[in-house]
A and B are shown apart, each in its own frame.
Chain A
Amino acid sequence: MSQALLASGRLLAGWRLAVGIAIALFLVLVPRLLPPFQTLQLSYGLIFAIAALGFNLLLGYTGLLSFGHSAFFGVGAYTAALLVKYMGLSSMEAFVLAGALASAVTAALFGAVCVRYTRIFFSILMLALSQVIWSLAFKLFWVTGGTDGLRVPTPTLLGGSVALGAGEDKLVFLTHRYYYYVLALFLVCVGAMWVIVNSPFGKALQAIRDNETRAEFVGVQVRKYRWIALVVSGTFTGLAGTLWVPLNGLTTPDILYWPFSGKIVFFVVLGGFRTFLGPVLGAVVFNYLETYAIGFTVYWQMVLGVVLVLLVLTMPAGLVGTLAPLFARRRRIA
């Protein structure tokens, strides 16, 4: 009996590994298999997935719903844009390091105020603080370009060794070299987040989520852990913002405005916040959904709204949370 279980467990692990390798192989081959437009969309999806992974460390693992993550995404993006504007930098590594650092500092400051609260108060406080940043980006136009935003030219990668050739199509650069850059960072982020949520620290966060009082009694320093979780979460989301900027070529206050925070929440709920990979799938699917809804109708916001309402009513566990058990059951029967 136990041997059979062990065997099926080994089978399951092997099956998972096979699927993982197949997906990784597909992601590597995407620029050769799919047209540039699709590769570009997938890049956006992977970048949003990094933001969603970070967000879910708070919602799924710590039990805090942030309605202010647009701030971190925006700080990551604006950091790169300001480095271009004021220091004339074009190295992506400089952007990534500075963007991650700036968003981590922002998250640390937000956390100093917010981690005392939970539930709805945490959500609203995060929202209010994120809107401080939005209003600054919006009003201090001599620094941030106001509603016009700031342009970010194509950066150089890997210490300047990979760059856009003279007279080369920008799209080729973005859908090949930059895609691989994003993919590599995405895989690093997935790996890092996997390590974090399975570490003693990650388990402590889950204990806080499930029962704050008990966690406190077991000796978990609840506020400190929440604060660290927020900083890590904000850094991931900020990194996503930095990666997003060269792809978009422009950063505007829209990504700091609170409905963008709602979008990040949407990614995670769509995929399922009780699962590790749900947010990743949710972000990629959401990006396709939004792109095609925008192409299909001017009332794309309504399409997204209807999807969200139906999701909340009928599929609260999200795509992965709803579908994964179905697969698991079928396999057991077979």
Chain B
Amino acid sequence: MDTLLTQILNSLFYASILFLIACGLSLVYGVMRIVNMAHGSLYAVGAYVAAWAVGLVASYLHVSLLLVLLLIGAAAAALAGALLEPTLLRPLYQRPEEYQLLMTFGLLLILEDLMRMVWGPYPLTASALSEFFPSISVLGATYPGYNIFVIVVGGAAAVGLWAFIYRTRFGILLRATSQNMRMASALGVDVKRIYVQAFTIGCLMAGLGGAVVMPLSGAVLGMGVDALILAFVVVVIGGLGSLEGALVGALIVGAVRTLGIMYFAEIELAVLYLIAAVVLFLRPAGLFGRA
């Protein structure tokens, strides 16, 4: 019973991080029809900036205050997004989508090396943060408290994003633009602004994901490239452009990873990609996507 519970919590933990990465990827695609290959790198930027900020003041502040610093990582990724969209992506909207994919691939190469340049080749860590949380016993199972914190952050992000998109005026404009950009524009929606805001929110979520995962796994070179592929699997299963899809996809991938580590560690990744391929084969637009 308690192992089962631990496995469920593990799945939820993976799913939280995956959702934080994948929801931004999906949001950006839904609104702008761009698949951002540099999205994983913005997740890594969140991790690096958070680790750097925590390391800077770790000796002066109490650990609980350091948690707030994780938000700086998210903010840094958001800022990067707000700068990149108008300068490098906006000129390409009229072009075939190959160019947008290539541009974001170029950005990925640049961002990966930029992080190496600024923070060096060695991982940055802030394990004090995760150790600050005591292990919690839930129904007889002992579970690391920080992981619960990540699950809570992931859940809060999902609820917050949902409320933002379905319950605010900005969300209505966003959905209108996503459904029909020309019509929205003709009705007076400032599409340029919506694009920048959507891209920034997507990057913010990725940065938050990177920041919350950092105390556990550290900020490591290449983490973004690895994360991007998993996020692709999530959005392919769930459906590109759909937030519900990102959530369900994240839960599926989180569960498969947890099972995979237990029962089929060697082919865990292969199984994930195969699931994605099968879903695409049966439902080209993913479980929740529209073609």
Contacts and interface: CB of A to CB of B under 8 A. Distances in A.
Nearest to A141: B266
B281 A302 contact: no
Contacts, number: 123
A104 interface: no
B274 A132 contact: yes
A136 B266 CA distance: 8
Contacts of B266: 139-140
B108 A305 contact: yes
Interface stretch (A1-9, A114-122, A153-161, A212-220): A114-122
Contact of A132 (B88, B98, B106, B273): B273
Interface in B219-276: 225, 229, 232-233, 236, 240, 265-270, 273-274, 276
A138 B267 CA distance: 10
Nearest to A269: B102
Given A121-B284, A139-B267, A299-B113, A128 B273 contact: yes
A298 B120 CA distance: 11
Interface in B173-226: 225
A249 interface: no
B289 to A, nearest CB: 10
Among B110, B112, B114, B281, chain A packs the most CB atoms within 10 A around the CB of B110
A136 to B, nearest CB: 5
A243 B265 CA distance: 33
Nearest to A299: B113
Contacts of A131: 229, 269, 273
B97 interface: yes
A289 interface: no
A117 B289 CA distance: 15
A258 B37 CA distance: 11
7 cross-chain pairs, A with B, having the tightest CB-CB distances, nearest first: A305-B109, A135-B269, A308-B106, A302-B113, A305-B110, A309-B106, A132-B273
Interface of B: 35, 37, 88, 91-92, 95, 97-99, 101-103, 105-114, 116-117, 225, 229, 232-233, 236, 240, 265-270, 273-274, 276-277, 280-281, 284-285
